[in-house]
Amino acid sequence: MASFKAVVIEKAESGSASPVVRDFPDSELMEGDVTVRVSHSTVNYKDGLALTGRAPVVRRFPMIPGIDFAGTVETSSHPEFKPGDAVVLNGWGTGETHLGAYAERSRVKGDWLVRLPDGMSPAEAMAIGTAGYTAMLSLMALERHGLSPERGPAVVSGAAGGVGSVAIALLAKAGWHVVASTGRTGEADYLAGLGAAEIIPRDELAGKGRPLGKERWAAGIDTVGSTTLANMLSMTRYAGAVAACGLAGGMDLPASVAPFILRGVSLLGIDSVMAPKPLRQEAWNRLAKELDRDKLASMTRTIRLEDVIEAGRDILDGKIRGRIVVEIG
């Protein structure tokens, strides 16, 4: 029986689930009209939750985790793709309800795929991954709201993480004065290298805040949620906006309506999982043109498929900065 190597999360009779690297039979691939030979993936915060079981991300067992992949089409009955096409996938329930990316092969719906932009390698695409794609969606949302660097600074929370790192690089390239909020003070040089003009300790945003604080920035990209997002909103300038795309600090939002009704501040929700295909393609095309490849390389390291399980624990423990590429092929 044909098979391929994969990280598989099994569920024991006791109810506990644990990931292992093993051969997975082709016959157990799920329905889809495109089969992809996966060459690269990455490790996101959600992947860490799935691999460790710290949150109920996985909805079926056995499951191959991993929400992102880049690779080459092997077979296709979808009208947009043919064998040999280079493609990227982000989200759509892969690694949650549909067998995911930590495998040498994946069968998915062609409507979930995006063409790899010209001039971008599969490894670079996964150095970007859902984190970088989400950062670009956040920047695009701020721009659609009418915000530009002339309005004032932009703040990024969770700055040393994957989304935060790419967000800093993108905002700086677009001309923003970037304020980076981080709990890792030792990463100051790293963040400055990505384009951060100011670095503030996350404690300034982590504590219980007032309904309104001093106006400090015109825009924000928040990866943390909870009190961090509440404080970012309270310090946003009149008619500014914050794009919310993460929940590393919690799903609650202990905020006041004051920023919304007294300063006209807007909260922009960013969904990367089910974003429509035209928006995805626009984001990837802009990433190919606007993200500094040298900065991308400086925030990236590469691991093997066998190292994914440990990396999943590390990303939840705050031990990973920037981006990780998983070499699968």
Residue 284 tokens, joined: 């990837």
The pLDDT, as a whole number, for residue 210 is 86
277 half-sphere exposure, CB direction, 13 A CA radius: 10
Contact 149, 174 (CB under 8 A): yes
Q: Is the bond preceding 62 in cis, omega lying within 30 degrees of 0?
A: yes
- How many helices (H) and strands (E) are present in the chain, helices listed first? 10, 15
Q: 200: part of which helix (H) or strand (E)?
A: strand 198-201
165 half-sphere exposure, CB direction, 13 A CA radius: 30
Beta strands 236-244 and 266-269, pairing class: parallel
Q: What is the pLDDT of residues 101-142, one digit of tens each?
A: 999 999 999 999 999 999 999 999 999 999 999 999 999 999
The pLDDT, as a whole number, for residue 13 is 66
Integer-rounded Cα radius of gyration of the chain: 20
The pLDDT, as a whole number, for residue 139 is 98
Residue 33 tokens, joined: 């009209």
- Alpha-helical segments (H) within 161-304: 162-173, 188-194, 203-206, 226-234, 258-262, 277-290, 293-298
**For the chain, what are the domain ranges?**
3-116+299-327, 131-269
Q: 118: part of which helix (H) or strand (E)?
A: none
- CA distance linking residue 155 with residue 171, whole number of Å: 10
Contact 217, 152 (CB under 8 A): yes
| CATH superfamily ID and name for 131-269 | NAD(P)-binding Rossmann-like Domain (3.40.50.720)
φ and ψ at residue 69, rounded to 5 degrees: -155, 160
Residue 327 tokens, joined: 């070499």
Beta strands 3-11 and 17-25, pairing class: antiparallel
Beta strands 300-304 and 323-327, pairing class: parallel
In CATH terms, are 3-116+299-327 and 131-269 the same topology? no
pLDDT beneath 50, residues of the chain = none
> Taking the domain 3-116+299-327, which CATH number applies?
3.90.180.10
Beta strands 198-201 and 217-222, pairing class: unpaired
Beta strands 113-115 and 86-90, pairing class: antiparallel
